[in-house]
Amino acid sequence: MDDRKTLVAYFSCTNHTQDLAKEIAEAVGGTLFEIKTVHDYPESYAGKIAVGGKEKLTGTRPEILNTVADMDTYDTIMVGFPVWFSTCPMAIVSFLEEYDLTGKTIYPFYTSGGGSGSRAIRDIEKAAPYADVMMCYNASKYGTSALEQWME
């Protein structure tokens, strides 16, 4: 019997990633968790570029509001995010650094405005050095259609 548990943790500002995270969680039978930052990002695109860009440039980890109480019970963590500046938002780094993810498998997925988010793998590996990080999945492009190939 397969008793592995999957967490689908995502960060999303304008719901693109959220919508796909919900579909993915349903498709894989995972538990959905929204990564929320203590500070809200500005509504405007320019505002998000300014705040998110500064965090990235300065390596600032925005504080995360909520925690996964039972992280130990998951062995697969799917992490969803919008591509920001060709990588993941710093909120993803904050989130990953909060836990001991030793031995867990991380499946990163992203939405984007058309650009690739595959470079996020480096930042995710740095934030979760003892986890096994898989290839990044372009959820904007594939939706849930290629999940099986990705995760096999």
Ligand X SMILES: Cc1cc2nc3c(=O)[nH]c(=O)nc-3n(C[C@H](O)[C@H](O)[C@H](O)COP(=O)(O)O)c2cc1C
What is the contact surface with ligand X in residues (CB under 6 A)?
12-18, 45, 48-49, 52, 82-86, 111-115
Report the residue number, 73 or 116, with the smaller CB distance to ligand X.
Answer: 116
Rounded to 5°, angle at Cα 21 from 17 and 23? 120
Shorter beta-carbon distance to ligand X: residue 85 or 150: 85
Residue 113 C-beta: closest distance to ligand X, Å: 3
Element (H, E) at 107: strand 105-111
Type of residue found at 58 = T
- Give CA 35 to chain center in angstroms: 8
Angle 79-6-145 (CA atoms, 0-180°, nearest 5)? Answer: 70
Please list the residues that pair with 7 across neighbouring strands.
31, 77
Residue 110 CB, shortest distance to ligand X, in Å, is 7
Between 21 and 104, whose beta carbon lies closer to ligand X?
21
- Between 17 and 94, name the residue whose CB sits nearer to ligand X: 17
Q: How far is the CB of 82 from ligand X (least distance, A)?
A: 3
Q: Which is nearer to ligand X, 11 or 104 (CB)?
A: 11
CB of 7 to ligand X, least distance (A): 18
- The strand pairing partners of 80, in sequence order, are 10, 109
Q: Which of 129, 51, 127, 133 is nearest to 95 (CA)?
A: 127
**Quick one: tokens of 128?**
């979760």
Q: How far is the CB of 115 from ligand X (least distance, A)?
A: 3
